[in-house]
Amino acid sequence: MTPYCSICWDINKVKLLDQRKLPREEIYLEITDYHEVIEAIRTLAIRGAPAIGVAAAMGAALGALGLKTEDPQEFAGRFDHICREIAAARPTAVNLFWALDRVQGLVQAHAGEPVGLLKERLVAEAQAMLKEDETINRKMAQAGQAVIREGMRVITHCNTGALATGAYGTALGVLRAAWEAGKRFSVWVDETRPLLQGARLTTWELGKIGIPYTLIPDGAAAALMAKGLVDLAIVGADRIAANGDTANKIGTYGVAVMAHYHGIPFYVAAPLSTFDFSIPDGSHIPVEERSGAEITHLWGQPVAPAGAQALNLAFDVTPSDLIAGIITEGGVARPPYASSLKALRKG
Amino acid sequence: MTPYCSICWDINKVKLLDQRKLPREEIYLEITDYHEVIEAIRTLAIRGAPAIGVAAAMGAALGALGLKTEDPQEFAGRFDHICREIAAARPTAVNLFWALDRVQGLVQAHAGEPVGLLKERLVAEAQAMLKEDETINRKMAQAGQAVIREGMRVITHCNTGALATGAYGTALGVLRAAWEAGKRFSVWVDETRPLLQGARLTTWELGKIGIPYTLIPDGAAAALMAKGLVDLAIVGADRIAANGDTANKIGTYGVAVMAHYHGIPFYVAAPLSTFDFSIPDGSHIPVEERSGAEITHLWGQPVAPAGAQALNLAFDVTPSDLIAGIITEGGVARPPYASSLKALRKG
């Protein structure tokens, strides 16, 4: 169906589409060393919270395969160390920690089993998580596609398609399901500075599905809203607190404020693995600060004067009072989120 | 004082700093043909509403010098034609039309005088307009610098310094005057996509003055405001309607909405030549649409898929109800603008 995949397991290798090169080149990296998975996550060869979760599990499986011991206890200790290394790749998307908790839990649940069997379990688990992610995305998309109506002009920020997930997509998955259900609409794509995931990736994915889109600079969204050309905003998430506060790509909060000012509903689409019920609100979400060079340089060439100081916060936090609904595989949560998210978690 | 100039008259030539090449190269174009002035305005070798006004007057003077006739009436007719060509260079900044009206008015006021004398008058007028622009900017800066207080974190969008004017600057001129008055503060510089006038030009100018700044993607402004790290916003203008509605670089309106949401005062600084009292409100301001390639390509290389559709509105309009004050050479206008601007115009 989708003629590309962000990540897959191929015998004893991880294959992943190098998203730094898109849309100009479609190059798959073939990785056998988990350090290279960490590097791929860090440098955004693979990005998007759900995809990072799958990559972490596959990286952990690769790391496990490389452990030269037959002692289950030593294996478990060294595997934990690998997971801690992978966990340090990026701080904000909680799916990374969720995935590592899950594979570490698997090893704990089968403590003492022969190392060969544990390795097989980890490889199978990582593959299962990829498959599950697609299933979850499709459920989420079905749960959410009712919010997209015929003729709408939808705005989205960053990339939330099959590239950002195991397959299908979160916010873009909702749009895809609506499109596949026969609804016709168009999308304003925020280019999403500094790394242009909107310009490079979302356009590429919408083009493959066939959904009409128009690319805009992030700063143009407000003007389009003022002109009455935007009916709905939908984005993904990197971490959602227990009260619904949502961390997502820098610029998302601005879209939410502008949507609020113009009376436009603002939706978030994310799997339950993106929720962090251990934190009460968004103030507890660690926001990654990346190199200023991502702002001061383009294609490796400087756009700002030498030595220009730049602040590169990778994410911002949108308070839940600006969010009309949070679309998950368990249904669409509505305000008040403290109770609706609790119900989703249990259900 | 300022170790560079955006534009000046040098015997029978216009010299202008090619802003497309900044900050990497400081190259002055030497122009003797007014068609090249039009091209420089169109391609943003020179930009910024006040600078465009001066460039238009100098372009008209160059055009006049090139007219091979001694008949005053023929001269006047052909000069009008040249002015109409220059007027078509860009549609939004009203300073362009204001400057051309002024030089056309000069020719009309001296109808019948020898052509040689008319040419001298036009060259002198263009030079006077450059000088006046600096005087006006300095008055505006003095009128406005009280809004900048010690320790403030100020945000600005696009470029409004000496580069955008004859000299000194509008919004950046206000900051410069505050700095020269001994106040210490810092500036968040919106990079200002698509053409990165903030990243390329404002950083360069603030660096030369010595004002500390931090460059950010346009989408990061809201997050900084939410964190309480922004105390005031100040921008320039390309055209201001009689009710205070202000057209400025795309993205400005978003800054204004976000400032409003966070209770941060939002100021506009512009000379009276930027006001268009012939239109009641911003809905009458024509907004230039530029090539989508300015969004889909960087350094001439594509960032989006081949054939990606992009919308490149060069400006947006900020309604006056979001503006705390409009700083001019005649003082700071405050709401309600219908009356305060009328008073400024008369005064």
Count other Cβ atoms within 10 Å, centred on residue B278: 10
Query: Mean of the per-residue pLDDT values for chain A?
Result: 97
Strand duo A266-269 + A232-235: pairing: parallel
Cβ contact (<8 Å) for B317 and A213? no
Q: Nearest chain B Cα to A254, which residue? A: B222
Identify whether the C-beta of residue A69 lies closer than 8 Å to the C-beta of residue A75.
Answer: yes
Query: Three-state SS for B308?
Result: coil
Domain shared by A274 and A316, yes or no: yes
Q: Is B301 on the interface with A (CB under 8 A)?
A: yes
Which pLDDT does position A2 carry in this prediction?
63
> What CATH number did the domain enclosing A243 receive?
3.40.50.10470
Cβ neighbours of B308 in A, within 8 Å: 199, 203, 207, 213, 215
Cβ contact (<8 Å) for A23 and B311? no
Cβ contact (<8 Å) for A251 and B303? no
Cβ contact (<8 Å) for A305 and B215? no
- What are the backbone angles phi and psi of residue A208, rounded to the nearest 5°? -70, -35
Domain shared by B133 and B149, yes or no: no
Sequence-distant (6+) residues with CB within 8 A of B227 are: none
Q: Which of A222, A303, A305 sits opposite B257 (nearest CB)?
A: A222
* Sign of torsion over alpha carbons B244, B245, B250, B255: positive
Q: Which two tokens stand for residue A144?
A: 């959410």
> Is the whole model's pTM more than 0.95, yes or no?
yes
Domain shared by B13 and B64, yes or no: yes
Domain shared by A132 and A154, yes or no: no
Domain shared by B73 and B174, yes or no: no
| Position A316 in a domain | yes
| Position A317 in a domain | yes
Q: Is B310 on the interface with A (CB under 8 A)?
A: yes
Interchain CB contacts (distance < 8 Å): A and B: 175
The string of pLDDT tens digits covering residues A278-324 is 999 999 999 999 999 999 999 888 999 999 999 999 999 999 999 99
| Position A2 in a domain | no
Domain count, chain A: 2
| Position B40 in a domain | yes
Which pLDDT does position A300 carry in this prediction?
85
Residue A59 binned pLDDT confidence (cut-offs 50, 70, 90) = very high
Q: Is A210 on the interface with B (CB under 8 A)?
A: no
| Position A11 in a domain | yes
Q: Is B226 on the interface with A (CB under 8 A)?
A: yes
Count other Cβ atoms within 10 Å, centred on residue A263: 7
Cβ neighbours of A261 in B, within 8 Å: 257, 260-261
| Position B289 in a domain | yes
Which pLDDT does position A299 carry in this prediction?
81
Domain shared by B46 and B165, yes or no: no
Identify whether the C-beta of residue A63 lies closer than 8 Å to the C-beta of residue A84.
Answer: no
Sequence-distant (6+) residues with CB within 8 A of B12 are: B32, B62, B65
Sequence-distant (6+) residues with CB within 8 A of A139 are: A329
Domain shared by B196 and B329, yes or no: yes
Q: Is B193 on the interface with A (CB under 8 A)?
A: yes
- Please compute the mean of the pLDDT values over residues A155-164 and round it to a whole number: 98
Task: Among B112, B138, B164, identify where a domain stops.
Answer: B138
Identify whether the C-beta of residue B186 lies closer than 8 Å to the C-beta of residue B179.
Answer: no
The string of pLDDT tens digits covering residues A1-45 is 567 899 999 999 999 999 999 999 999 999 999 999 999 999 999
ipTM above 0.85, yes or no: yes
CA distances from A268 to A171, A344, B159 (A): 7, 15, 34
Sequence-distant (6+) residues with CB within 8 A of A316 are: A247, A248, A249, A250, A251, A252, A253, A254, A287, B220, B222, B223, B226
Domain shared by A273 and A199, yes or no: yes
Which pLDDT does position B146 carry in this prediction?
98
When scoring A257, A260, A315 by the number of chain B Cβ atoms within 10 A, the one with the most, hence best to mutate, is A257
Domain shared by B165 and B198, yes or no: yes
Identify whether the C-beta of residue B72 lies closer than 8 Å to the C-beta of residue B95.
Answer: no
| Position B2 in a domain | no
Task: Among B92, B114, B138, identify where a domain stops.
Answer: B138
Domain shared by A69 and A212, yes or no: no
Q: Which two tokens stand for residue A42?
A: 């860090």
Domain shared by B117 and B165, yes or no: no
Task: Among A138, A155, A179, identify where a domain stops.
Answer: A138
Q: What is the DSSP letter of A161?
A: B
Sequence-distant (6+) residues with CB within 8 A of B289 are: B311, B312, B313, B314
Strand duo A7-10 + A13-17: pairing: antiparallel
Cβ neighbours of B23 in A, within 8 Å: 302, 304-305
Domain shared by B156 and B251, yes or no: yes
pLDDT tens for each residue of chain B, 347 residues long: 567 889 999 999 999 999 999 999 999 999 999 999 999 999 999 999 999 999 999 999 999 999 999 999 999 999 999 999 999 999 999 999 999 999 999 999 999 999 999 999 999 999 999 999 999 999 999 999 999 999 999 999 999 999 999 999 999 999 999 999 999 999 999 999 999 999 999 999 999 999 999 999 999 999 999 999 999 999 999 999 999 999 999 999 999 999 999 999 999 999 999 999 999 999 999 999 999 999 999 988 899 999 999 999 999 999 999 999 999 999 999 999 999 999 999 87
Counted residue by residue, chain B has a size of: 347
Cβ contact (<8 Å) for B215 and A311? yes
Cβ contact (<8 Å) for B24 and A204? no
> What CATH number did the domain enclosing A70 receive?
1.20.120.420
Q: Is A246 on the interface with B (CB under 8 A)?
A: no
Cβ contact (<8 Å) for A302 and B24? yes
Looking at this protein, which amino acid is placed at residue A198?
G
Of the ranges A149-158, A216-225, B295-304, which one carries the lowest mean pLDDT score?
B295-304
| Position B1 in a domain | no
Counted residue by residue, chain A has a size of: 347
Domain span including residue B339 = 143-346
Name A161's bridge partners. A169
